Structure 1
């Protein structure tokens, strides 16, 4: 089906950077860096995008701290470990001190979380041999659990 041209031509008026970013935030939380990238990809100039992000921040529509808390809560529920969370938060431009604080505030028992992931993935059976133990250890490491958690608690034997 062909589009009919509007009265003023075929192009719609482009929304402001503020409106575009607000629309993105209405769907889910975004980090400032992520919004800036999306606005840049949408063709908005640096100054316009920066002003829009400053305005959204001052109105508390965009908040990197809130974004970090939501992301950590979501990823912990999905069974990811602290190393993976740290890397993901770092990729969103959060400072190391804030990342440490958010992970501490989450108050997660990482050993229990790792054990839960193993049970979910492999059931309740013990690992039959060294190959199976290595496979389970690699699974936990890929999900972002520290090697010390895997090694110290002998989780791969679950």
Structure 2
């Protein structure tokens, strides 16, 4: 049984996807291939979108960074999201190379928003807070700073 050919062109669908939100190149390719388009058609659609600057991995990565910060994510979580979306490692490294954002203060703001000024009175509560901050993508130095913890882990 032969697969049904998609009703619209790969370029047209790519433009529809990009009109809703930015995509990474790899993410857009995967979506088009999943809809049944041939690799050559997908490559042509992606190239056209890049020529018109509708598809730009660097711009997409910058937006992911801003959205991640707004969601209270740490650097590790944002990098993981970029990798998951298919942003090339070179673009990610370039984005964070001159990063002047204060991740320590950001971690402190996230912790304060979540836990307020209440002190950690038990080891169980301390572990809960550490797990939360870790799940948000902060490293141990940032977590220690944010929670004002002196212990070594």
TM-score under structure 1 length normalisation: 0.84
The runs of at least 4 aligned residues of structure 1 exceeding 4 Å deviation read none
- Residue in structure 1 matched with residue 89 of structure 2 by the alignment: 96
Shift of residue 106 of structure 1?
4.8
- For structure 1, the residue ranges without an aligned partner over 5 or more in a row are 1-12
Aligned partner of residue 8 in structure 2, secondary structure: coil
What is the deviation of 1:69?
A: 0.3
C-alpha separation between the residues in 1 aligned to 2:68 and 2:99? 11
Instruction: Give unmatched runs, 5+ long, in structure 2.
Output: 1-5
1:132 alignment partner in structure 2:
125
Q: Tell me which residue corresponds to 2:13.
A: 20
CA distance in 1 between counterparts of 2:28 and 2:73 reads: 24
- 1:120 and 1:143, CA in 2 relative to 1: closer, same or farther beyond 3 A? same
SS for the counterpart of 2:118 is: coil
**Per-residue deviation, residues 80-113 of structure 1 (Å, max 9, x unmatched):** 0000111111223333332122134553211111
Q: Tell me, yes or no, if the aligned pair for 1:69 and 1:102 is still in contact at 8 Å.
A: yes
CA contact (8 A) 1:36 1:49 kept: yes
> Paired residues, what number?
145
Q: CA RMSD in A?
A: 1.9
Q: Mean alpha-carbon deviation: is it higher for 38-47 or for 87-96?
A: 87-96
Contact kept, 8 Å, 1:17 with 1:49, in 2: the verdict is yes
CA contact (8 A) 1:72 1:103 kept: no
Q: Which moved more, 1:98-107 or 1:24-33?
A: 98-107
TM-score, L = length of structure 2: 0.86
Structure whose CA Rg is larger? 1
Is the contact made by 1:32 and 1:62 (CA closer than 8 Å) also made in structure 2? yes
Which residue in the other structure is 1:155 paired with?
147
Report the alpha carbon displacement of residue 154 of structure 1 after superposing the two structures with TM. 5.5
